[in-house]
Structure 1
Amino acid sequence: MITLLTINSVITATMDEGKQTLLDLLEKIAKEQKYVNNTVDLKAVSAGGSNITSALFLSTIRANDKPDLKLFAKVALLSDHVRKHSPMRCQFTTELYFYTKLKKQYERIQDKHNVLEDHRVRMPKLYGCCDKYLSETLVLEDLVAQGFENFDRQQPADLEYMTAAIDLMAKFHALSLAFHNDDPVSFKEASDTLTMDISKIEALVPVMKPKAMANALAATEGENREKLEKFFKQEPCLFVKFMDTFRSKKRNILVHGDFKPNNLMHRRRNGKLEIVLMDFQLVLDGDPLRDLLYFIFTATDEAFRRSHYHAILDLYHERLSEALRRFQIDVETVYSESTYRAQLEEYSMVGLTIAVILLPLVLVEEEDIPNFDDDYKMTDFVVQGSKLYKERLNGVINNYVEWGLL
């Protein structure tokens, strides 16, 4: 029997159907896990501004002679209006596909190649899901109960954290290359399913670009403003190369799409930092540099990049090579170092573009998060930069000036 003990205003009257879907799913999970005569505690939680599309819950299923089952649930918040006006594939459809299809393939491949625990990509265990439109729900293991915690998105990452996260990213990318080698037909199905129609996003550029540039210029200090204005006038415009990172380069790499600090959880165990990858709502057949550059420019500050930027770029390809060797794949045949270096040169300004377009939303104050109601517009994603954003943006510009690129 379900007993609803705690729930806050995150779920409103308009979310009644989603709430009932979650309760029904928890009851089903309790039966599947043989929790007889159970009770379920349910508590709505806030992500502190790091999640803007889902209502989040912690749940505990209890029964006599059984250990408490600690669960984490995500319930869709996006309305029909928002979905119809978004140029992107529905995030919940993507995440459900990842957990029910792709994750199983990845785990099978790691098992087949006897990948040791320390070298595996750790992803949350799925206990149950529902794909009902507007009430999509995922119930996963509760990593917080296992000692994991979220990275503070307002703080810059240090070298230990960046090294561990880049290693995780490389292993995640290597898995898709191994998947392709192992089962090209199934990989093509996944690739086709997760390919983004960039033309729909590009159509919004004329609408979103002026607001994004105006916000960035307003946050820019002193001589940096003139340098940024000059960058905005360059051709092709700042959005073009950035949009190119969404495209498949036929390298058979499925990228996370939203690889940033608050989509990672970590704990220290036996003196070692462990990181788990979360939130697979934007997985796509895209360019691996999308994950790499996005993570670097959302996770680090000016001082870190001044000391470690080029070393981190080297580290990614080194760790990708190591991960591929575990699957008996030669990196030079799938993503050679020369190709990688050439692509870094081609995308040399993408980091600055990320700072202009995406960093404001990553660092947004919780009270300034866009509302996804029936008045929602795509330009709502272009938020006013916080005080921290201003500091980080100017730091990125300073780095680009030091690197001789601006």
Structure 2
Amino acid sequence: MITSDRALCHTIQRYYDALGRVQVDVCNEDLVTEEKHYGSEICRVTCSLKDGKDERTVSVILKESTLDKMINEAIEENVHFTSELQMYLEVLPCMERLCQDTFPDCEPLWPHCLGHMEDTKIVLEDLKVLGYKLTDRQTGMDYEHASLSIRSLAKFHALSMALINNGTVSPGKFSKFVFGGDYSFMNDLSKNRFDTLLKAIKDSWSGEWKDVLERLGRLPSSAAEKVKEMRLQPCKWNVINHGDPWVNNIMFKYKKGTTSPESVRFVDYQLSHYGSFGFDLHYFINTSLSIDLLPSTEKLLLEYTQTLQEQMKHFGLKNIPTFHQVLDEMKRLEFFGLFTAVSITPIIIAPPELAPPRFNQDLPLEEIVSRNVERFRTEEYTRRIQIILRRAQHGGFFERMCG
């Protein structure tokens, strides 16, 4: 992936202010496997920094986005979706300065960016060296990990609100949202996913799901359009959403000798967008929680609310939401939660043998179609989506959406 050692050396030199020559040694370890499902190509690069007789070795991550390429090929036009470079170069440094001014001992919620090469390659600090690890994407997060994650999302959201409020960041730069219903290929994709779920229910679920099947069957043709309507409706608490806060984009550092997380970092800002905080929360809840946490999420939402309230007060922000208002906003965006559970979650929790092809990976069409169908029929996904559908049914979701 490194097209120019010289360009990478120059990027690293500028960051470390190295006076001598930076030697780059590319490791063969590839952080991206078919199992991880990233929309990027990522490799770890070890670098020897020499300054006279002094020498030290650092490890960095070189990431190249393939999301734009995949989307542009699908719609056959040049659309630049990714806001990741703007996030790393403009927004996150401002967030860090504001956070340090307010909370001097706080740690950033993201990796530092060393620089970039071209518009699609970003050089980042290696969080693995700092002790950060991923959790299991197929089983999802337990309460301890989920609690730290959702409270950290609240801090991230409050920081974005403060920067927008003082004019440091323009929300207009983050108006595009891949899942926002503006692009026909995404609309077609979501319709296909709903249709595939309906077929799985009809073919293999018991008769007790007949009512849900009937009501769910009214949604597929308008799924993406409903998400678009939700985005256009006014919200009092718009934030810069991470956009893709699922298990593999959240890394944890642990208390020494324990399995208790003490620090978190969010990675991958390709889908960051401006809108209601509820988009991030629904995405996180429906893609990343363990099955045990799915039936009741109010405790986590309360923790989010309390953290958001505290942070907004620290930044001197007005119009702080109550817990009841947070729940109302989550209810307003409830369909996006189901949209995520149907369109995104099957891919996220799929076993490696059912993963979608990576960019430029050739697979027969029959194999691609077969994998898509089977992802909706795994025991893990079936258990998850049944809990989500029952929760929606008991909460009156289908009556509100389908009549």
**Fold match (TM-score > 0.5):** yes
Aligned residues of 2:113 and 2:122 also touching (Cα < 8 A): yes
- Determine if the alignment matches structure 1 residue 398 to structure 2 residue 390: yes
- Determine if the alignment matches structure 1 residue 180 to structure 2 residue 172: no
- Within the candidate set 32, 50, 60, 1:47 is matched to 32
Separation (CA, whole Å) in 2 of partners of 1:302 and 1:402: 17
- Determine if the alignment matches structure 1 residue 329 to structure 2 residue 321: no
Note the C-alpha offset of 1:252. 4.2
CA-based RMSD: 3.2
| Structure 1 residues 77 and 305, CA gap change in structure 2 (3 angstroms) | closer
Which ranges of structure 2 fall in alignment gaps of 5 or more residues?
399-403
2:105 partner letter: E
TM norm structure 2: 0.81
- Determine if the alignment matches structure 1 residue 67 to structure 2 residue 52: no
- Determine if the alignment matches structure 1 residue 106 to structure 2 residue 68: no
Deviates more, 1:164-173 or 1:230-239: 230-239
Partner deviation per Cα, 1:204-259 (whole Å, 9 max, x = no partner): 46633442123212443213642442232447944444344555746441111101
Show the counterpart of 2:243.
Answer: 257
2:27 partner letter: L
| Structure 1 residues 68 and 305, CA gap change in structure 2 (3 angstroms) | same
Superposed, which structure 2 residues align to 1:133-148 within 5 Å?
A: 136-148=120-132
Note the C-alpha offset of 1:396. 2.0
- Determine if the alignment matches structure 1 residue 389 to structure 2 residue 392: no
Deviates more, 1:347-356 or 1:77-86: 77-86
2:99 partner letter: Q
What is the percentage of aligned positions where both structures have the same residue?
Answer: 20
Aligned residues of 1:224 and 1:397 also touching (Cα < 8 A): no
Superposed, which structure 2 residues align to 1:123-138 within 5 Å?
A: 123-132=110-119, 136-138=120-122
- Within the candidate set 329, 346, 350, 1:364 is matched to 350
Note the C-alpha offset of 1:281. 0.6
Note the C-alpha offset of 1:323. 1.4
- Within the candidate set 162, 174, 179, 1:194 is matched to 174
| Structure 1 residues 285 and 37, CA gap change in structure 2 (3 angstroms) | closer
2:329 partner letter: Q
Deviates more, 1:392-401 or 1:168-177: 392-401
| Structure 1 residues 264 and 272, CA gap change in structure 2 (3 angstroms) | closer
Separation (CA, whole Å) in 2 of partners of 1:224 and 1:73: 50
Note the C-alpha offset of 1:127. 1.1
1:195 partner letter: S
Deviates more, 1:231-240 or 1:138-147: 231-240
| Structure 1 residues 319 and 53, CA gap change in structure 2 (3 angstroms) | same
| Structure 1 residues 347 and 152, CA gap change in structure 2 (3 angstroms) | same
Per the alignment, in what secondary structure is the counterpart of residue 21 of structure 2?
A: coil
Aligned residues of 2:139 and 2:291 also touching (Cα < 8 A): no
Separation (CA, whole Å) in 2 of partners of 1:81 and 1:350: 23
Separation (CA, whole Å) in 2 of partners of 1:405 and 1:80: 36
- Determine if the alignment matches structure 1 residue 282 to structure 2 residue 264: no
- Determine if the alignment matches structure 1 residue 320 to structure 2 residue 308: yes
- Within the candidate set 207, 213, 228, 2:194 is matched to 213
Aligned residues of 2:110 and 2:265 also touching (Cα < 8 A): yes
| Structure 1 residues 144 and 107, CA gap change in structure 2 (3 angstroms) | same
| Structure 1 residues 393 and 272, CA gap change in structure 2 (3 angstroms) | closer
Show the counterpart of 2:3.
Answer: 20
Show the counterpart of 2:326.
Answer: 340
1:159 partner letter: Y
Aligned residues of 1:129 and 1:139 also touching (Cα < 8 A): yes
Note the C-alpha offset of 1:304. 1.5
Aligned residues of 1:71 and 1:142 also touching (Cα < 8 A): yes
Partner deviation per Cα, 1:176-208 (whole Å, 9 max, x = no partner): 11102222xx423xx11110164523x346633
- Within the candidate set 287, 303, 308, 1:298 is matched to 287
2:156 partner letter: F
Aligned residues of 1:241 and 1:347 also touching (Cα < 8 A): no
Per the alignment, in what secondary structure is the counterpart of residue 149 of structure 1?
A: coil
Show the counterpart of 2:145.
Answer: 161
- Within the candidate set 23, 40, 53, 1:38 is matched to 23
Per the alignment, in what secondary structure is the counterpart of residue 74 of structure 1?
A: strand
| Structure 1 residues 285 and 250, CA gap change in structure 2 (3 angstroms) | farther
Aligned residues of 1:166 and 1:315 also touching (Cα < 8 A): yes
Partner deviation per Cα, 1:77-123 (whole Å, 9 max, x = no partner): 357574254589535x41111111111221222233x31434x5421
| Structure 1 residues 359 and 343, CA gap change in structure 2 (3 angstroms) | same
Per the alignment, in what secondary structure is the counterpart of residue 123 of structure 2?
A: strand
Separation (CA, whole Å) in 1 of partners of 2:286 and 2:225: 18
Aligned residues of 1:50 and 1:262 also touching (Cα < 8 A): yes
TM norm structure 1: 0.80
Aligned residues of 2:109 and 2:156 also touching (Cα < 8 A): no
Per the alignment, in what secondary structure is the counterpart of residue 26 of structure 1?
A: helix
State the number of aligned residues: 372
Partner deviation per Cα, 1:254-297 (whole Å, 9 max, x = no partner): 11110111101001135652111111111111221111011111
Aligned residues of 1:88 and 1:196 also touching (Cα < 8 A): no
Separation (CA, whole Å) in 2 of partners of 1:278 and 1:335: 27
